A and B are shown apart, each in its own frame.
Chain A
């Protein structure tokens, strides 16, 4: 698994953890009929995922997450969806799965271009 895939997994689990810890969110989900159990299992999964990320990348991710709330952001039509700056063509077309993840030069968040049809 690539560094980026690990960071995306971590980013997704952090989104879920935030939702599960936030009391207004929990109330809304329960009103909709969903069950929410204890968070220990999810927190343990988060710890395992974080331990699998190289320390340098984890530090970059955590710095961005503490500053902005999310450490990884998608890229759409060459625009960083964190700070909405248009990325240089080279950054927006880098085949991220073959190397280190790209970082937004403006906000420092990890860029997720993905392998889907929309870039």
Chain B
């Protein structure tokens, strides 16, 4: 929890330290399943379809080994940033062709404005763009270390 009554968008149960799959669609399905079990998402199959449509509209890899899939959806109950790592990397059609070693799935409810959704995406991207932050996220041994790097993402 951050100060006040605003819940954090980070949750230790929404973290995959090492992905078992190297397939983009399977990664998204694993993350959505995790979010569903944590009570963040209703009707997970609908969200997986939406994320796939977003990927087809244009890749969500921002380069340097970072992918930021995202959705603003009626199926999302509360805003959340899910973190997953893959040390071998997942092919995410990045502009620099680097496989994604760090995957940050950003989910916001459908009644959030586009500006608010982009605000959360922007704060997450700003953290991930710094090389020292990426290194800390990839080398983190616990979720507490991850949350330490990403704490500025919280509203």
Interface residues of chain A, those whose CB is within 8 Å of chain B, are 5, 8-9, 11-13, 15-16, 18-20, 22, 25, 28-29, 32-37, 39, 41-42, 45, 70, 72-74, 81, 112, 114-118
Contacts and interface: CB of A to CB of B under 8 A. Distances in A.
B-side binding surface: helix, strand, loop or mixed? mixed
Contacts of B72: 15-16, 19
Interface residues of B, number: 36
A8 B118 contact: no
Interface stretch (B21-29, B73-81, B83-91, B142-150): B73-81
Contacts of A45: 53
Contacts, number: 104
Contacts of B114: 18-19, 22, 25
B35 to A, nearest CB: 10
A18 B117 CA distance: 13
B122 to A, nearest CB: 6
Given A74-B109, A116-B42, A13 B50 contact: yes
Contacts of B50: 9, 12-13, 16
A74 B111 contact: yes
